Structure 1
Amino acid sequence: MKIKLTSIYVDDQERALAFYTGVLGLTKKADFSNGPFRWLTVASPDEPEGTELQLALNDNPAAKAYQLAMFAQSQPAVMFFTDDIKGDHQRIAANGGTFAMTPTEVTGSTIAKLDDGCGNLIQITELARW
């Protein structure tokens, strides 16, 4: 069994696509519409056939309440892993990313959190090397 897709809700798919590709550096994988529904996914350029992240329009009231509550509690909607958190922090900040938490050492890793501008916090994690 493999995980091929996970989803996050965004309040604006165009703004989300610009953030996840232009700021984070992910690659657009799928983008097609059927009436008002738009299927939009991104993937890591390092693993183009790997797990996709669906940028789903948040037009579901229950999902919107969950998204708002998670954001208010500073809980990330998605977590990405890196081998160079300081370099990624500099690159993302230079691309316009707004960090809620700069790289901070915690038990077993260094983490940073940033706002995707679409209702979510994103966590970037570099695991400690033992």
Structure 2
Amino acid sequence: MTIKLSQCFIAVDDHDKALAFYRDVLGLEVRNDVSFEGMRWLTVGSPDQPGVEIVLEPPLADPTASTADRQAMEELLAKGMLRGVIFAVDDVDATFERVRAAGGEVVQEPIDQPYGVRDCAFRDPAGNMLRFNQAR
């Protein structure tokens, strides 16, 4: 049996801001940008991983969710309490400088971790934690 990751989801509160960050700052390519029944299906991915997509979705894309549930999810997103993603990069210091120069919110400057990577961390425009790791 073969099993592979196909898609993962990152909650965003503004598709256009998210797209500008993930495409223009991180260099991911847009795979899909489709409107459907009042929603937007927006996916991005690394050119080096054609079979893996990141879906940029509203915090609660369930049309049956209550107003209270939607508000709770929006509050968690605003606090940076939802999903986090770790990207593997070949040069964490260059990545750090690129994201910082673009106005990324720095959470952690590049450091060598005891578990064998050099990494740094930022928040995306919606508040999600993004880490960038380089194997040592």
Q: State the TM-score bracket (shorter-chain normalisation).
A: 0.7 to 0.9
Residue pair 2:78, 2:126 contacting (<8 A) in 1 also:
no
Larger mean Cα displacement after TM superposition, 22-31 or 88-97: 88-97
Q: Is the 8 A contact 1:113 1:121 kept in 2?
A: yes
Aligned partner of 1:55 in structure 2 is 56
2:127 counterpart of 1:119: yes
- Residue by residue over 1:2-42, the C-alpha shift from the partner in whole angstroms, topping out at 9 and shown as x without a partner, is 11100011111111011101111111110101121110000
Structure 2 distance, partners of 1:17, 1:82, is 20
The DSSP-based 3-state class of the residue aligned with 1:15 is helix
Large movers: runs of 4+ above 4 Å = none
Contact 1:9 1:63 (C-alpha < 8 Å) held by counterparts: no
How far off is 1:65 after superposition? 5.3
Give 1:19-30 correspondences, 5 Å limit: 19-30=21-32
CA distance in 2, matches of 1:76, 1:96: 21
| 2:93 paired residue among 81, 86, 89 | 86
Which one-letter code corresponds to 1:52 in the other structure?
Answer: E
* TM-score scaled by length of structure 1: 0.83
Shift of 1:45: 2.1
Query: Residues of 1 paired with 2:105 and 2:77: CA distance?
Result: 18
Distance 1:45 1:31 in 2: 16
Give the SS at the match of 2:5.
Answer: coil
CA RMSD of aligned residues (A): 2.0
Q: Report the more deviating stretch, 8-17 or 92-101.
A: 92-101
- Deviation per CA, 1:78-121: give whole Å up to 9, x if none: 11011210111122223332321111111111111111111211
> Contact 1:23–1:96 at 8 Å: present in 2 too?
no
Quote the Cα distance in structure 2 between the aligned partners of 1:12 and 1:93: 20
Name which one, 1 or 2, has greater alpha-carbon Rg: 2
When normalised by structure 2's length, the TM-score is 0.80
Distance (Å, rounded) in 1 between the aligned partners of 2:53 and 2:93: 24
- Structure 1 unaligned regions, length at least 5: none
- Structure 2 CA distance for aligned equivalents of residues 25 and 99 of structure 1: 18
Q: Which runs of 5+ in 2 are unaligned?
A: 62-69
SS at the partner of 1:42?
strand
Aligned sequence identity (%):
33
